[in-house]
Amino acid sequence: MRTQVGIVGAGPAGLLLSHLLARAGIESVVLEARSRSYVEQRVRAGVLEHPTVELLREVGLAERLDREGLPHEGISLRFDGGDHRIDFADLVGRGITVYGQQEVVKDLIAARLADGGDLRFEVSDVTLDGIADAPVIGFTDAEGQRQELHCDVIAGCDGFHGISRGAFAHEVIDRQYPFAWLGILAKAAPTHHELVYANHDNGFALYSMRSPEVTRLYLQVPPDTDVNDWSDARTWDELGTRLAAEGFTLNEGPVLEKGVTGMRSFVAEPMRHGRLFLAGDAAHIVPPTGAKGMNLAIADVRVLAEALTGFLQRGDETGIDAYSDTCLRRVWRAEHFSWWMTSMLHKMPDADAFTRRLQLSQLRYTVSSRAAATSLAENYTGLPHGAVA
Ligand code: RFL
Ligand code: PHB
């Protein structure tokens, strides 16, 4: 088999890359380890930055997003018994949209298939060879047949636990956090129209949503937490305590899903070796506090699609040579923002009085200074694509 771009992974990065390339007249094949229904059901991110939404509109992927996505013009920071709104619309003139990652994935798969796109699910034993100049992807297809896919370039979009990153030597720059998030998805109507980030003496809590019927909630827990230790009753009780504020009530309802996610910052540099390009979680991850992971994956593949178009259609290597540096600028801005939000909002185990006072001072400054609030709003709603200093 032959194609121009062999894409490993059908998450937001791989699928959107395939879509953008097809619009430019470039062929690709997407190889995914899981089944279609698995990737369409996987509950993950929920916040789309303004530039992400604009891009999805520009490339014809926003019909359902514009109908079902929930536009938000701010968030609340809750601490020290008070609730403080950061008004994005007023501060930076744009907002975010709440729309589940799995909905983005469903829309992308439908668009690729309607367009005759080649997506192979349930492949296994993927190998990458010839990445210096003549790439070949080996894989076993869903029927158990061993296959070889020859391509001009490979896009490693296989997420944090994929195999692409391991195909070349790179530097890893990372940080582990001494806590995790317990997340639940509940069939309960949201009682508040925006996200709430709470810094409480018991630990961080986040109030989010997916639709007018479904609430998404998170609690800071120790990293080794067993999800079975958190009954629904205990989870609701703790959420009620940490999110409490005057006039705020939490609607409870059946818990549809519950899971524990570790927190880590991680960057692999560079993001390219020869004809292999990493994009999205395959190259970098952020703690979820800044809601940046999926947005970064999307920003990467926008740069990559343009660079590959120049290379494959005109033999112009400028874009592919700049790819890693261009992406890493935005990646490091998002790494900093996510680390900053994480440090400001979580209870640091073993924090001394000095650390705690600094945290409270940072929170008070962020909600009372227009300059500080604007910085949060600018980063949260997303810096324009391609313009990160
Ligand atoms: P993905 O989505 O992990 O997709 C990679 C795909 O590659 C497949 N794969 C392989 N396929 C073939 N062969 C192999 N050897 C393979 N190995 C892996 C996998 O099955 C998978 O389908 O990476 P991608 O496309 O880079 O997208 C990244 C995002 O998924 C991720 O950054 C976000 O989910 C992070 N994230 C959030 N991001 C946001 O922008 N906003 C949020 O509000 C947000 N909240 C979150 C999050 C992630 C969370 N978890 C569970 C990690 C909240 C949570 C709880
Ligand atoms: C979510 O709705 O899943 C979500 C929202 C904001 C975050 C992280 C996750 O910072």
Question: Which residues in the chain come in under a pLDDT of 70?
Answer: 387, 389
* Residue to substitute in 281, 296, 381 for testing ligand 1 pocket (most ligand atoms within 8 angstroms of CB): 281
For ligand 1, the distance from its centroid to the CA atom of residue 161, given in whole angstroms, is: 9
Cβ-based burial of 274 (10 A; exposed 0-12, middle 13-18, buried ≥19): middle
For ligand 1, the distance from its centroid to the CA atom of residue 331, given in whole angstroms, is: 15
Half-sphere exposure of 383 (CA within 13 A, CB side): 17
Ligand nearest to the CA of 49: 1
The pLDDT score that the predictor gives to residue 387 is 62
Is residue 125 within 8 A of residue 138, CB to CB? The reply is yes
Q: Is 292 one of the catalytic residues? A: yes
Ligand nearest to the CA of 293: 1
Fold agreement (5-46+100-170+270-348, 173-263): no
Please provide the size of the chain in residues.
389
Q: Which residues pair with 75 in a beta bridge?
A: 86, 195
Out of 12, 51, 190, 288, the active site residue is 288
Separation CA 86–CA 90 (nearest Å) = 9
The pLDDT score that the predictor gives to residue 44 is 87
The pLDDT score that the predictor gives to residue 389 is 66
List alpha helices for the chain, DSSP H: 12-23, 36-41, 50-58, 63-68, 88-92, 101-114, 232-243, 293-314, 318-345, 353-368, 370-381
Separation CA 83–CA 76 (nearest Å) = 7
Tokens describing residue 240: 């009620």
Closest atom of ligand 1 to CA, residue 158: 7
Q: Is 323 one of the catalytic residues? A: no
The pLDDT score that the predictor gives to residue 222 is 97
Closest atom of ligand 2 to CA, residue 43: 3
Q: What is the pLDDT of residues 27-47, one digit of tens each?
A: 999 999 999 999 999 988 899
Tokens describing residue 327: 């992406």
Closest atom of ligand 2 to CA, residue 208: 2
For ligand 2, the distance from its centroid to the CA atom of residue 258, given in whole angstroms, is: 14
Closest atom of ligand 1 to CA, residue 281: 26
Ligand nearest to the CA of 13: 1
Half-sphere exposure of 265 (CA within 13 A, CB side): 22
For ligand 1, the distance from its centroid to the CA atom of residue 327, given in whole angstroms, is: 17
Closest atom of ligand 1 to CA, residue 13: 25
Nearest to 284 by CA among 143, 273, 295: 295
Domain 5-46+100-170+270-348 homologous superfamily, CATH? FAD/NAD(P)-binding domain (3.50.50.60)
For ligand 1, the distance from its centroid to the CA atom of residue 307, given in whole angstroms, is: 23
For ligand 2, the distance from its centroid to the CA atom of residue 98, given in whole angstroms, is: 9
The pLDDT score that the predictor gives to residue 126 is 98
- Chain centre distance of CA 220: 19
User: Measured from the CB, is residue 39 less than 6 Å from ligand 1?
Assistant: yes
Q: Is 72 one of the catalytic residues? A: yes
Is residue 96 within 8 A of residue 47, CB to CB? The reply is yes
The pLDDT score that the predictor gives to residue 271 is 98
Q: Atom 4 in ligand 1: which residue has the minimum CA distance?
A: 11
Sequence-ordered list of residues with C-beta below 8 angstroms from that of 94, at least 6 positions apart, any chain: 50, 88, 381
Residue ranges per structural domain of the chain? 5-46+100-170+270-348, 173-263
For ligand 2, the distance from its centroid to the CA atom of residue 289, given in whole angstroms, is: 7
* Residue to substitute in 195, 256, 296 for testing ligand 2 pocket (most ligand atoms within 8 angstroms of CB): 195
Separation CA 11–CA 99 (nearest Å) = 15
CATH number of 173-263: 3.30.9.10
- Omega into 190 within 30° of 0, i.e. cis? no
Separation CA 230–CA 236 (nearest Å) = 10
Is residue 243 within 8 A of residue 218, CB to CB? The reply is no
Closest atom of ligand 2 to CA, residue 47: 5
Q: Atom 6 in ligand 2: which residue has the minimum CA distance?
A: 291
Out of 51, 177, 190, 197, the active site residue is 197
Which residue ranges have their beta carbon within 6 Å of ligand 2?
45-47, 195, 206, 208, 216, 288-289, 291
The pLDDT score that the predictor gives to residue 118 is 98
